[in-house]
Amino acid sequence: MSKQVVVGVCHGPRCRDYGGLTLAAQLKCQGMAVETLGCQSLCTYSPIVRLHDRIIHRATLERTETAADAPGRRYCLPD
Ligand code: FES
């Protein structure tokens, strides 16, 4: 049985502008549980992802998957 990865994605204004909402949708599409986070006061490095006790600066889908040790793609239809 695999353990589901829970990822926090900042939905603060700066991270939204830099793709936080799209990243959250992509991570959900990959089967990760996504939590909505408020501004993490790291706006310079947006978008911000929190994974366990780690912060991922300028997060992308690829960087988050690598950090979560959950590589692999699922096919997802856009909403
Ligand atoms: S808006 Fe995301 S860290 Fe500030």
Instruction: Kindly report, residue by residue over 21-61, the tens digit of the pLDDT.
Output: 999 999 999 889 999 999 999 999 999 999 988 899 999 99
The dihedral built from the CA positions of residue 46, 12, 32 and 30, taken in this order, carries a sign that is negative
- Choice between 75 and 15, residue whose per-residue pLDDT is larger: 15
Ligand 1 atom nearest to CA at 47: 2
Query: Could you tell me which residue, 35 or 3, shows the higher pLDDT?
Result: 35
Task: Just give the CATH number of 6-68.
Answer: 3.40.30.10
Q: What is the 3-state secondary structure (H, E, C) of the chain?
A: CCCCCEEEEECCHHHHHCCHHHHHHHHHHCCCEEEEECCCCCHHHCCCEEECCEEECCCCHHHHHHHHCCCCCCCCCCC
pTM of the model: 0.84
Q: How many angstroms does the Cα of residue 55 sit away from the middle of ligand 1?
A: 12
Residues touching ligand 1 (Cβ under 6 Å) are: 10, 12-15, 39-40, 42-43, 46, 48
Q: Looking at the predicted structure, is the pLDDT value of residue 1 above 80?
A: no
